């Protein structure tokens, strides 16, 4: 289980450092701040943030709005704008790229936290046929809500999902089990290509397949039932490499 990873893009070093410190105190995984469009893109590519906090005014020719446009077009993850400007023109430009929240400087640590959590929640609601208010998917991870905050479950650390009536148990490589509300159908459509439904009650991560038997598969050390049709499909996938 990983923390939510946050990128700060702010050209005023003092403000960037204050935000960085506040985010660390709030328990987020914080990437070193960027202060230009180019530096921000480099960090997005190398660090894969889950959410970004973007100042509208940046050093260099390109603005935070230009960066937001690039995120929407290519990288597709949520972002928050921050600015000291609240004039109509700035607000209209900001609205055109659909930020998930807008913070006006100066702001408190509590306002920062609330904006991030609301942005993550709104992102889950905004995406068409997204899961539900207790979980969302961003890039290569599933986020589930626990204790009023989202926590990150990396796809490569998930062993399997098991249906239990209206709840789903998510078994992690670490041995942790997380419980969320929902159906396997909702999750199957959103998970990555390594996930495969082997049984009406199980979705497994084939990256952790250790043994394939006649009626069961082993995912790490856990034995999971498998149907004949599903078993044949797994064999086809293995043969394709």
- Render pLDDT for 16-73 as a digit per residue (tens, 0 to 9): 999 999 999 999 999 999 999 999 999 999 998 989 999 998 988 999 999 999 999 9
Give how far the C-alpha of residue 99 lies from the chain's centroid of Cα atoms, to the nearest Å.
Answer: 16
Q: Does one domain contain both 10 and 99? A: yes
- What average pLDDT does the chain have? 88
Cβ pair 226, 216 in contact under 8 A: yes
The model's confidence at residue 218, banded by pLDDT at 50, 70 and 90, is very high
Q: Does one domain contain both 62 and 119? A: yes
In a domain, 132, yes or no: no
Q: Does one domain contain both 114 and 177? A: no
Kindly report the number of other CB atoms within 10 A of residue 218's CB atom: 15
Residue written as token pair 């702010």: 10
Average pLDDT over residues 108-129: 78
Q: Residue 139 pLDDT > 90, yes or no?
A: no
Q: Residue 130 pLDDT > 80, yes or no?
A: no
Q: What is the pLDDT of residue 47?
A: 92
Give how far the C-alpha of residue 138 lies from the chain's centroid of Cα atoms, to the nearest Å.
Answer: 3
Query: On the CB side of 129, how many CA atoms lie within 13 Å of its CA?
Result: 6
Q: Does one domain contain both 32 and 110? A: yes
Q: Residue 90 pLDDT > 90, yes or no?
A: no
In a domain, 202, yes or no: yes
Q: Does one domain contain both 73 and 170? A: no
For residues 177 and 189, give the distance between their C-alpha atoms in angstroms, rounded to a whole number: 21
Q: Does one domain contain both 78 and 177? A: no
Whether pTM > 0.75 for this model: the answer is no
Query: On the CB side of 60, how many CA atoms lie within 13 Å of its CA?
Result: 18
In a domain, 142, yes or no: no
In a domain, 148, yes or no: no
The model's confidence at residue 7, banded by pLDDT at 50, 70 and 90, is very high
Q: Does one domain contain both 12 and 88? A: yes
The model's confidence at residue 6, banded by pLDDT at 50, 70 and 90, is very high
For residues 4 and 144, give the distance between their C-alpha atoms in angstroms, rounded to a whole number: 11
Q: Does one domain contain both 120 and 207? A: no
State the CATH number of the domain containing residue 31: 3.40.50.2300
Q: Does one domain contain both 166 and 226? A: yes
The model's confidence at residue 129, banded by pLDDT at 50, 70 and 90, is very low
- Give the residue numbers spanning the domain of 170: 157-240
**Could you tell me which of 56, 60, 6 has the C-alpha nearest to residue 33?**
6
Q: What is the pLDDT of residue 134?
A: 58
Length of the chain, in residues: 241
In a domain, 138, yes or no: no
In a domain, 137, yes or no: no
State the CATH number of the domain containing residue 183: 2.40.50.1020
Q: Residue 148 pLDDT > 70, yes or no?
A: no
For residues 1 and 226, give the distance between their C-alpha atoms in angstroms, rounded to a whole number: 27
For residues 77 and 54, give the distance between their C-alpha atoms in angstroms, rounded to a whole number: 13
In a domain, 149, yes or no: no
For residues 185 and 174, give the distance between their C-alpha atoms in angstroms, rounded to a whole number: 25
Cβ pair 68, 79 in contact under 8 A: yes
pLDDT per position as a tens digit, 203-214: 999 999 999 999
Q: Which of 126, 148, 170 is the last residue of a domain?
A: 126
Cβ pair 124, 115 in contact under 8 A: no
Number of domains in the chain: 2
Cβ pair 67, 7 in contact under 8 A: no
Q: Does one domain contain both 15 and 116? A: yes
Q: Does one domain contain both 166 and 118? A: no
Token output for 186:
């909702």
Q: Does one domain contain both 110 and 180? A: no
pLDDT per position as a tens digit, 158-187: 999 999 877 899 999 999 999 887 788 888
In a domain, 92, yes or no: yes
């Amino acid at each position: 289980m990983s923390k939510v990873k946050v990128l700060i893009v702010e050209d005023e070093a003092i403000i960037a450092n204050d935000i960085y410190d506040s985010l660390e105190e709030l328990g987020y995984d914080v990437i070193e701040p960027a202060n230009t469009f180019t530096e921000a893109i480099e960090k997005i590519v190398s660090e894969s943030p889950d959410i970004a906090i973007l100042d509208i005014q940046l050093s260099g020719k390109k603005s935070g709005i230009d960066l937001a446009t690039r995120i929407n077009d290519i990288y597709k993850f949520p972002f928050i704008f921050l600015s000291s400007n609240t004039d109509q023109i700035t607000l209209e430009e900001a609205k055109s790229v659909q930020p998930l929240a807008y913070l006006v400087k100066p702001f408190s640590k509590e306002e920062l936290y609330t904006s991030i959590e609301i942005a993550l929640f709104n992102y889950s609601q905004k995406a068409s046929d997204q899961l539900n208010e207790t979980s969302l998917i961003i890039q290569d991870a599933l986020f589930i809500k626990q204790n009023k905050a989202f926590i990150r479950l990396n796809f490569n650390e998930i062993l399997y999902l098991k249906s239990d009536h209206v709840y789903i148990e998510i078994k992690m490589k670490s041995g942790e089990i997380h419980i969320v509300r929902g159906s396997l159908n909702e999750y199957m459509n959103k998970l990555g290509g390594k996930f495969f439904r082997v049984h009406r009650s199980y979705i497994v991560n084939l990256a952790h397949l250790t043994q394939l038997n006649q009626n069961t598969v082993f995912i790490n050390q856990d034995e999971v039932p498998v149907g004949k049709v599903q078993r044949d499909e797994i064999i086809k996938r293995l043969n394709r490499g």
